[in-house]
């Protein structure tokens, strides 16, 4: 199947595409048809060595450039991403199965936002001056060195840029390993960065499964690891990084609550529930998959939700009218179907959806369960698919405790017209990102990340700079130095 801007090899190292067919083949499957659209190869030890060595060699000269020079290259790359948005969006749709209606406004564009934002910030990074009487200390904000980025499959272009842009702005180099399920888009990010003037070796992409990721994490030349993935993978990567006392950013999974109070605007709350459960076919880490609805408006909410879901256009992701695409893979579809069966078996009420579509590809209907109880599997575990669990509540204190009763802490949302309650609830949520009368916005200007088991560190915003740089303190004595003997 032809698709635009096809990467010409499996890896991108030291400013060029590199192939090594000795690596295990990785088939790329188009989720809308089940067809194979490409075969790439997992990185062999020789490829891993090339990538890390290139990143190590290139980094000092990059860090020695001014922030203005580094930022100019990142901002040029942002412009190229935007100019090629159509082709990159089509590629993202082939890589993930997400509808073009989404990819054309979210993926390359949010990647470009990150490159533009951190490109602009590169020149502003400074240390500080601390006066101590006559003496003084100054701090230098320095790069960490070689950073490793490891991606999940739901936003391959965005994740490649969200990690690469702040890393490069701070003077680091990067070796990025995309998810084996969606290996194509990050290669285009590397190509565009170098076209924009990035010196060779500073942003390398190599393919592979967990073993390649693990080899990168344990390499002694690597100073920092940023993972986007599940909690179990996060535990392994965090532990491996800890052995080398490496810096980490962990963007992990969630089971986020969304609370809809009796005074909420029902139409907006339904919109929030749709955005927070069915965008990208539910494959979004911050999704509000536990929707607590006050019993006074439960029937009205469910009726309106069912009506609105009839408006979903499910089908060919390349058709700009399609608003709901397939699951990323047959495997992920099977996992989600297992959860739907568990929901039914444990006594939740299936309000709509639940079935696989009778056509090629990995299409599942948007699915809503009502009368869900806190201890049911579908209310406790991350499903990562289009399955919404609606739970009843009557009392604010009670629903707060239930909303926070989870190992995860990625996101949380509240719908209410009561101003004080909105801010009180947001303050009481145990989550890294909270939403009031909206859901799943992720602008580059705001910190994004999880608390509890959902992660460590923050991406985006000024906060990301703290996770891609370190401070050195330099003490300066102006007078003579006294010593005890």
Pick between residue 84 and residue 236 the one whose CB is nearest to ligand NAD.
236
Pick between residue 117 and residue 153 the one whose CB is nearest to ligand NAD.
153
Pick between residue 416 and residue 454 the one whose CB is nearest to ligand NAD.
454
What string of DSSP letters covers 236-282?
Answer: HHHHHHHHTT-EEEEE-----EEEE-TTS-HHHHHHHHHHHHHGGGG
* Angle between the N-to-C axes of helices 185-195 and 156-169, in degrees from 0 to 180, rounded to the nearest 10: 40
Pick between residue 233 and residue 469 the one whose CB is nearest to ligand NAD.
233
Residue closest to ligand NAD (Cβ): 213
Pick between residue 196 and residue 216 the one whose CB is nearest to ligand NAD.
216
92, 116, 251, 365: which is the annotated catalytic residue?
Answer: 251
Question: How many Å apart are CA 152 and CA 280, to the nearest integer?
Answer: 14
**CB under 8 Å to 129, separation ≥6 — which residues?**
136, 137, 138
Q: Is 267 part of the annotated catalytic residue set? A: no
* Least distance in angstroms from the C-beta of 179 to ligand NAD: 4
Q: Sign of dihedral through CA atoms 179, 86, 322, 162?
A: positive
Strands 129-132 and 135-143, bridge-based pairing: antiparallel
102, 116, 382, 459: which is the annotated catalytic residue?
Answer: 459
- Of the listed pieces 248-256, 351-359, 420-428, 462-470, which binds ligand NAD according to CB under 6 A? 248-256
- Of the listed pieces 40-48, 52-60, 211-219, 290-298, which binds ligand NAD according to CB under 6 A? 211-219
Phi, psi dihedral angles at 29 (to 5 degrees): -110, 130
- Of the listed pieces 11-19, 251-259, 370-378, 397-405, which binds ligand NAD according to CB under 6 A? 251-259
Query: How far is it between the farthest Cα atoms of the chain?
Result: 87
Cα→Cα distances 141→62, 63, 397, Å: 14, 11, 44
Nearest partner of 110 among 272, 284, 254, 229, judged by Cα: 284
285, 298, 365, 382: which is the annotated catalytic residue?
Answer: 285
* Least distance in angstroms from the C-beta of 245 to ligand NAD: 17
User: Cβ of 146: how many Cβ atoms within 10 Å?
Assistant: 27
- The contacts found for 394-398 with CB under 8 angstroms, 24 or more apart, are 394/294, 394/295, 396/261, 396/421, 396/425
Question: How many Å apart are CA 423 and CA 414, to the nearest integer?
Answer: 9
Rule CB under 6 A: say whether 456 interacts with ligand NAD.
no
Rule CB under 6 A: say whether 152 interacts with ligand NAD.
yes
Rule CB under 6 A: say whether 233 interacts with ligand NAD.
yes
Q: Is 459 part of the annotated catalytic residue set? A: yes
Query: Which DSSP category does 454 fall into?
Result: G
Pick between residue 354 and residue 455 the one whose CB is nearest to ligand NAD.
455
Pick between residue 78 and residue 152 the one whose CB is nearest to ligand NAD.
152
Rule CB under 6 A: say whether 40 interacts with ligand NAD.
no
DSSP 3-state of 469: strand
Rule CB under 6 A: say whether 450 interacts with ligand NAD.
yes
Rule CB under 6 A: say whether 433 interacts with ligand NAD.
no
Among 23, 119, 166, 253, binds ligand NAD (CB under 6 A): 253
Q: Is 163 part of the annotated catalytic residue set? A: yes
- Of the listed pieces 4-12, 246-254, 307-315, 371-379, which binds ligand NAD according to CB under 6 A? 246-254
CB contact burial 222-246 (16+ within 10 A = b; e otherwise): bbbbbbbbebebbebbbebbeeeeb
Question: How many Å apart are CA 54 and CA 456, to the nearest integer?
Answer: 28
Contact characters 154-173, ligand NAD, x per CB under 6 A:
x-------------------
* Least distance in angstroms from the C-beta of 169 to ligand NAD: 19
Question: How many Å apart are CA 115 and CA 282, to the nearest integer?
Answer: 26
**CB under 8 Å to 365, separation ≥6 — which residues?**
314, 352, 353, 354, 355, 356, 357, 386
* Least distance in angstroms from the C-beta of 114 to ligand NAD: 13
Rule CB under 6 A: say whether 29 interacts with ligand NAD.
no
> Which parts of this chain interact with ligand NAD (CB under 6 A)?
150-154, 177, 179-180, 209-210, 213-214, 217, 228-230, 233, 236-237, 251-254, 285, 382, 384, 410, 450, 455
Active site amino acids: 163, 251, 285, 459
């Amino acid at each position: 199947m032809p698709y635009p801007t096809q990467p010409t090899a499996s890896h991108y190292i030291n400013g060029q595409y590199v192939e090594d067919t000795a690596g295990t083949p990785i088939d790329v499957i188009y989720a809308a048809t089940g067809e194979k659209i490409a075969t790439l190869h997992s990185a062999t030890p020789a490829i891993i060595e090339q990538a890390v060595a290139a990143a190590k060699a290139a980094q000092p000269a990059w860090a020695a450039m001014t922030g203005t020079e580094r930022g100019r290259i990142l901002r040029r790359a942002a412009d190229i991403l935007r100019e090629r948005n159509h082709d990159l969006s089509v590629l993202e749709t082939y890589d993930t199965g997400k509808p073009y209606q989404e990819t054309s406004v979210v993926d390359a564009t949010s990647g470009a936002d990150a490159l533009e934002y951190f490109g602009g910030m590169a020149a502003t990074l400074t240390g500080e001056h601390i006066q101590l009487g006559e003496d003084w200390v100054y701090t230098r904000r320095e790069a960490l060195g070689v950073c490793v980025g490891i991606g999940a499959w739901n936003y391959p272009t965005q994740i490649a840029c969200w990690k690469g842009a702040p890393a490069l702005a701070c003077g680091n180099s990067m070796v990025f390993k995309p998810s084996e399920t969606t290996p194509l888009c990050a290669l285009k990010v590397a190509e565009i960065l170098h076209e924009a003037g990035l010196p060779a070796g500073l942003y390398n992409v190599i393919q592979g499964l967990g073993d390649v990721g693990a080899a990168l994490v344990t390499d002694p030349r690597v100073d920092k690891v940023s993972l986007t993935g599940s909690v179990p993978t996060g535990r392994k990567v965090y532990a491996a990084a800890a052995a080398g006392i490496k810096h980490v950013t962990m963007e992990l999974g969630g089971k986020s609550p969304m609370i809809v109070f009796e005074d909420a605007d029902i139409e907006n709350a339904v919109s929030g529930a749709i955005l927070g459960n069915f965008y990208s076919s539910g494959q979004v880490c911050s999704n509000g998959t536990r929707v607590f609805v006050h019993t006074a408006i439960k029937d009205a909410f469910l009726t309106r939700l069912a009506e609105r879901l009839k408006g979903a256009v499910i089908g060919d992701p390349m058709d700009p009218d399609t608003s709901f695409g397939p699951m990323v893979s047959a495997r992920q579809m099977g996992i989600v179907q297992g959860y739907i069966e568990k929901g039914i078996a444990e006594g939740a009420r299936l309000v709509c959806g639940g079935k696989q579509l009778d056509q090629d590809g990995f299409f599942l209907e948007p699915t809503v369960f009502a009368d869900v109880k806190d201890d049911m599997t579908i209310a406790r575990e991350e499903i990562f698919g289009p399955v919404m669990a609606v739970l009843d509540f009557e009392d604010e204190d009670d629903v707060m405790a239930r909303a926070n009763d989870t190992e995860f802490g990625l996101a949380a949302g509240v719908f209410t017209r009561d101003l004080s309650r909105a801010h009180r609830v947001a303050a009481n949520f145990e989550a890294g990102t909270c939403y009031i009368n909206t859901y799943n916005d992720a602008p580059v200007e705001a910190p994004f990340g999880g608390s509890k088991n959902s992660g460590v560190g923050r991406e985006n915003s000024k906060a990301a700079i703290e996770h891609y740089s370190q401070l050195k303190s330099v003490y300066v004595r102006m007078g003579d130095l006294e010593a005890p003997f």
